[in-house]
Amino acid sequence: MIMEPALERLIDRSRDGDRDAFDQVVARYGLQVLRTARLILRDQGLAEDACQETFLKAWRKLDTLRDQEPGPWLIRIAANESISAYRRRHRFDRLAERFGRVRESEPEAVSTEERIDLSLALERLSAEQRAVIVLRYYHDQSVEQAAGALNIPVDTAKSRLKAALRRLRSLTGAEEVIP
């Protein structure tokens, strides 16, 4: 893919260690990365942490970005960092719960018989499921592209997507599609 010349210069300067140039890369893609993390994590603080980790990792791995548009590359890192952040948080929560301390961020239980809106329904999915949903429906990636971004087999991505959609339909009361 041919990169916009100005952007290519920014990436080259960043590779050479120019932090001001990288600041501009952050300014250009930051919102896109933050939104992705926010959609997956459903928590602003965690999303900001994942966003920060995304750009720090990108800075360290700039040498691996070869002639490709940084956007999808950053989204790929952001999706994986978001899943990692979610797992870390849940490990922390599980440990805290073992001592009888429940985190405030734990979502309230919602009866599956009760119809809820999409926003609440998305919170009931795992981060792994939300990542596939976000890549597929927000970033308009194919299932194959989403699988590649998340480093999982295509079949796994398909089944994860299918399960997530079924759960969303069930929670929101949308009719199940019979193929």
Interacting residue with other proteins among 8, 31, 153, 159 (CB under 8 A):
31
Residue 101 interacting with other proteins (CB under 8 A): yes
Residue 156 interacting with other proteins (CB under 8 A): no
For residues 4 and 161, give the distance between their C-alpha atoms in angstroms, rounded to a whole number.
33
Residue 28 tokens read as 């250009």
Residue type, 92: F
Residue 17 interacting with other proteins (CB under 8 A): yes
Interacting residue with other proteins among 52, 126, 145, 170 (CB under 8 A):
52
Show the CA angle centred on residue 38, arms to residues 37 and 44, nearest 5°: 120
Interacting residue with other proteins among 21, 35, 145, 154 (CB under 8 A):
35
3-state secondary structure 93-154: HHHHHHCCCCCCCCCCCCCCCCCCCHHHHHHCCCHHHHHHHHHHHHCCCCHHHHHHHHCCCH
Give me the 53-72 binding string for other proteins, x by CB under 8 A, dash otherwise. Answer: --xx--xx-x----------
Choice between 134 and 157, CB closer to other proteins: 134
Residue 75 interacting with other proteins (CB under 8 A): no
Choice between 62 and 146, CB closer to other proteins: 62
